[in-house]
Each structure stands twice: as structure tokens, then as C-alpha cells.
Amino acid sequence: MDTDVLVAWFAETARLVHRERERLTDLDAAIGDADHGSNLDRGFSEVARALATSPPDTPAQVLATAGATLIRRVGGASGPLYGSVFRQMGKSLTSPVTLAGFAAAFEEGVVAAERLGKAALGDKTMVDALVPASRALALAVRDGVGVREAFEQAARAAADGAKATIPLQARKGRASYLGERSVGHEDPGAASAALLMAALATVVA
């Protein structure tokens, strides 16, 4: 896995988020404030632009740029949270990049977001998609699965994790204000995390 793959990952994420922008905003309208789609569309399109304008030399730089750009351009809850995932990944990633190295860095990125947001699995946040994705990667590494297969499993785990937020009552973020009324809706941040992992699976496919 090289710099180009990571750049492609963010380009594909930007494309998916742009395409799914309205769905993400609709999910946020139901239990939040109807801006998750435009927040992430703004953020990832900036990331894609930044990566295209001044192409980074190393995988770590790709992640650092993505993290900093999201923090600098998104705002809201998702900006610092996604930003922290990639910023931390960039710090943790060792080179050359192996699947094991990527999985470990991703795990540290997810932990950074968990720490920052103080959210745990089951709180109905992006964590509910990110943690299962991270675990799927760790299992794939343990089982010696190939990159493509590993990322597909991670994407599936994230998607399942996102769907699994539907029956939950939110305990973190804006949706928690709704109390029981948050039950029955998919968390927008979990849904966007699933897109992120889907993009990863696509670019190595």
C-alpha cells in the first residue's frame, strides 16, 4: 500500500460522501441538526483538493493532510473527530505500509476519536461503525487475509455497525437530546464511517 492508494481512498470517500450527501443530511435531520452531509461534503472535497494540489510524498503525509484539513474545514462534532482519526493514523503509521501496520494505525486513530469524544461502543455514534471496522482489520491480520479481502470485511463490519445503531438510544452527541426518540434511526456519523470504509475497499479492489 502506497501513497497513491491513500490519496485514492480520500478521493473515493469525497465522491461517495458527495453522492450520499443528502442521505447523510436526512439522517442528521431525523436526530440531529441536518448538516452532516454538507459538513462532510465540504470537508472531504477540501481533503481531495488539498491532496491533488500539493501531492504528499508519504502515506503518513496523506493522513496528516487529511486530518488537518478536516479539523480546519469541517467544524461541528464530526470535524474534530474524523480529523483526529486521520491525524493520529498519520502519526502512528510506519513505513513501508503493510496491512498490519495500517490496521494498527487505524486502531490508534479510532482510539483517538473515542478518547476525544468520550464515546463507547453502543452510544450510537460513528464509533459504532469505526470500532467494528478496526476489529475486522485486526482479525484479518491475525488470519493472514489479503488486503482486498481485509478491507472488504472492514467495510462490511462498518456497514453492519452503522445499521446496528438503528435500535439504539443515543448517549452522545446531539441525538442524545432526543432521549427515547432517537431510537429507530441510523446514526449519521456511523453511516458516513461506513462510507469511508466502503471507499477503502473500492480503491484496493
Ligand X SMILES: Nc1ncnc2c1ncn2[C@@H]1O[C@H](COP(=O)(O)OP(=O)(O)O)[C@@H](O)[C@H]1O
Residues 155 and 197: beta-carbon distance below 8 Å? yes
**Whole-Å CA distances, 204 to 6, 134, 146, 200:** 10, 17, 11, 7
178 binds another protein (CB under 8 A): yes
Q: How far is the CB of 71 from ligand X (least distance, A)?
A: 13
178 binds, among Mg ion, another protein, ligand X, none (CB under 5 to 8 A by kind): another protein
80 binds another protein (CB under 8 A): yes
Q: How far is the CB of 95 from another protein (least distance, A)?
A: 27
Site for ligand X in 104-123 (CB under 6 A): 117-119
List the one residue from 72, 115, 142, 148 that touches another protein (CB under 8 A): 72
Q: How deeply is 139 buried, as exposed, middle or buried, from its count of CB atoms within 10 A (0-12, 13-18, 19+)?
A: middle
Q: Which stretch binds another protein (CB under 8 A): 5-13, 98-106, 142-150, 167-175?
A: 167-175
List the one residue from 14, 16, 17, 35 that touches Mg ion (CB under 5 A): 35
Q: How far is the CB of 193 from ligand X (least distance, A)?
A: 8
CA distance 99 to 95: 11
109 binds, among another protein, ligand X, Mg ion, none (CB under 5 to 8 A by kind): none
146 binds another protein (CB under 8 A): no
Residues at the interface with Mg ion (CB under 5 A)? 28, 32-33, 35-36, 76
